[in-house]
Structure 1
């Protein structure tokens, strides 16, 4: 099992220049290798096996940056090709943009070339960089790689990936007495639970939408390329970063609380990307962060030796009565209260969450 720790780093001016050169070299090499692969396939209908070493003679500036970072560029490109041929829906590999693509690179730990101390980190081609290490890392964890990234706001982060040989927290789950929680997706509030779980309202983008729109209007009035333009652009990036951090903090805390209290969590296997593309719900669906919440919850449960059950998306969780089991043939999206002939009247999403929980219990007992 792997676990990543993300810390903020504070490089000097010279280190920032070298990091910018590394970001640009990795982006350039990725685009060049992708372009050559496409050109070779159009001519010979064969896959070109190109490596970073093939480009260093023609482009000497590639020798100035970390060689392991360039090697990881090749691995990332090959992974993108494999993902496309395995599932064409993932899309063909795209060229990286200088202005829109994420500025980052990954280097591996080989022969002690990466060292981590209390408040600093040493990376290849760089000297020691000051780092804010806000949490301790067990000594038995083995460092595998480091990903250095730069946010649009200008902040630098180092993500340290550790390999854990044995997971001491894995205890297993007794399905007979398991404490199961059912979760149903909701447009408002992100999710509805089968149990009474107190949580604050999500939707941080909606809460900060007016302020973000005001800062973006100011940016549109600035002369492009001027000092005020870059200053205002940084303010807009800070607004986006705050919204993202608020959402991630909320989802981390909620998923940790659920992983600690329950043995099994049942969720509906819905396609969030498809949902965001229908009925003009994209902004609200993405703002909820339900897909991220499921990923965080899954790895936290796995770390504790617990389970997450994905119920089939075609299971009639909303149309089925959780009391008598009767299934309604027709149920409109506007019907927010579920009314059954047996006398059961309850919130539609709560009824669905209970049905998801009971379906997961049936799946566990059935094996």
Structure 2
């Protein structure tokens, strides 16, 4: 498999988490390098938080079944301190606030279930690739020594603090990946306000039409190639998965084969995220406004013919990055409806070509005889529809 140069993945992972009264909270993600004893304590924290979450979820379910419709977080907190901890003394070896934070997460999960219909909370499993726990306070980030001091761990943990920040420390999330790498994501309130949204017009707006053959087609006529990270590594992935299927479950060879598969999946993911960050940052920095089409990606993934290719291009993650980066830099992200006929409508005269199929990549308008590239025409129409919604298009 040919090596592909990457920018530092975790150096790029700076996400906007939420905006409260135009004040930004940012999360900075760093790689941790704990010693053997520190790994043991971190894993004990993860296991204790998972145990507490499952216990609290079970208590809520039992309370509902016994006609006590609601069991509040504060009641669970009291049971945790006076009942669960005395019965399980090993829980006292981990940070108490990390355990209490799991109750907050469970409460948030139920809130999303009742308000947003996001699905009933599930019991956590140790087999899930991503495991984590949260520390709300009392941790120290030392940029001079490249270490992070966490509660209940005597010695500071060595970390790669490649990017400095200033501000008030909020919640820190420690996680472990399937490839046995530890990371910490530090939420910071830097006190800075979001910049004012810049004015835009027809000339400073860019329309984007995403696709599978080309990752994105711009209204300027430029096409961004689809790197197809998964497809480039699919042969090697199949070989590793076939070897894994032949190993005896629970054996050391099985664990080694699992690790090789996980490392390849992680490599593919890092390549994809790196490409999306570079592309989204460039598009946001070069334009005052960006117009995109709202897509039902989850519905499109039900197509067995295109599901793998759609998952590989990660449209949802691309749109998410465009949205929060536009907020960071005072730009505007415009969205149009998913049912707008952007591909079938001539951007010159407005003729509707209802007979066009997905296989038709080029077509000629019967009214104005304009020859269209399907994707470029769609990108121009996406821009037109978005500006018409904003009443900024000069016709």
TM range (shorter): over 0.9
Q: CA deviation at 1:312?
A: 1.1
Report the more deviating stretch, 26-35 or 51-60. Answer: 51-60
SS class of match (1:267):
strand
SS class of match (2:376):
helix
Structure 1 residue 297 and structure 2 residue 319: aligned? no
Residue aligning to 1:80 = 109
Residue aligning to 2:54 = 31
Alignment counterpart, residue 146 of structure 1, candidates 142, 155, 172: 172
SS class of match (1:166):
strand
Q: CA deviation at 1:150?
A: 0.6
Q: CA deviation at 1:334?
A: 2.2
Q: CA deviation at 1:198?
A: 5.9
Residue aligning to 1:10 = 33
SS class of match (1:165):
strand
Does the aligned pair in 1 maintain the 2:292–2:333 contact within 8 Å? Answer: yes
Does the aligned pair in 1 maintain the 2:365–2:372 contact within 8 Å? Answer: no
What does the per-residue CA deviation read over 1:269-324, in whole Å, with 9 as the maximum and x for residues that have no partner?
11111111135422111111111011111111110011101111122212211111
CA–CA distance in structure 1, aligned partners of residues 55 and 373 of structure 2: 55
Structure 1 residue 167 and structure 2 residue 193: aligned? yes
CA–CA distance in structure 2, aligned partners of residues 315 and 73 of structure 1: 43
Alignment counterpart, residue 44 of structure 2, candidates 21, 44, 51: 21
Residue aligning to 1:285 = 310
Report the more deviating stretch, 45-54 or 201-210. Answer: 45-54
SS class of match (1:365):
coil
Residue aligning to 1:96 = 124
Which runs of 5 or more structure 2 residues have no equivalent in the other structure? 1-23
Structure 1 residue 69 and structure 2 residue 77: aligned? no
Equivalent residues, number: 361
Q: CA deviation at 1:261?
A: 0.2
Alignment counterpart, residue 125 of structure 1, candidates 152, 155, 158: 152
CA–CA distance in structure 2, aligned partners of residues 228 and 77 of structure 1: 37
Q: CA deviation at 1:101?
A: 5.0
Residue aligning to 2:336 = 311
- Note the 1:36-75 alignment, pairs <5 A: 36-44=59-67, 46-49=69-72, 50-51=76-77, 52-53=80-81, 55-75=84-104
Q: CA deviation at 1:330?
A: 3.7
| Alpha carbons of structure 1 residues 224 and 198: separation in structure 2 relative to 1, 3 Å | same
Q: CA deviation at 1:178?
A: 5.8
Alignment counterpart, residue 348 of structure 1, candidates 357, 366, 374: 374
SS class of match (1:208):
helix
CA–CA distance in structure 1, aligned partners of residues 382 and 157 of structure 2: 49
Q: CA deviation at 1:228?
A: 2.0
Residue aligning to 1:248 = 273
Does the aligned pair in 2 maintain the 1:114–1:124 contact within 8 Å? Answer: no
What does the per-residue CA deviation read over 1:217-266, in whole Å, with 9 as the maximum and x for residues that have no partner?
11122222222222221111110000000000000000111111011111
CA–CA distance in structure 2, aligned partners of residues 323 and 361 of structure 1: 16
Does the aligned pair in 1 maintain the 2:215–2:224 contact within 8 Å? Answer: no
CA–CA distance in structure 1, aligned partners of residues 281 and 364 of structure 2: 34
Q: 4+ runs of 1 displaced by more than 6 Å?
A: none
| Alpha carbons of structure 1 residues 191 and 177: separation in structure 2 relative to 1, 3 Å | closer
Report the more deviating stretch, 199-208 or 170-179. Answer: 170-179
What does the per-residue CA deviation read over 1:90-134, in whole Å, with 9 as the maximum and x for residues that have no partner?
211111111125211111124xx3333331111111230000112
Structure 1 residue 225 and structure 2 residue 250: aligned? yes
Q: CA deviation at 1:46?
A: 0.4
| TM-score, with length taken from structure 1 | 0.93
| Alpha carbons of structure 1 residues 223 and 17: separation in structure 2 relative to 1, 3 Å | same
Residue aligning to 2:390 = 364
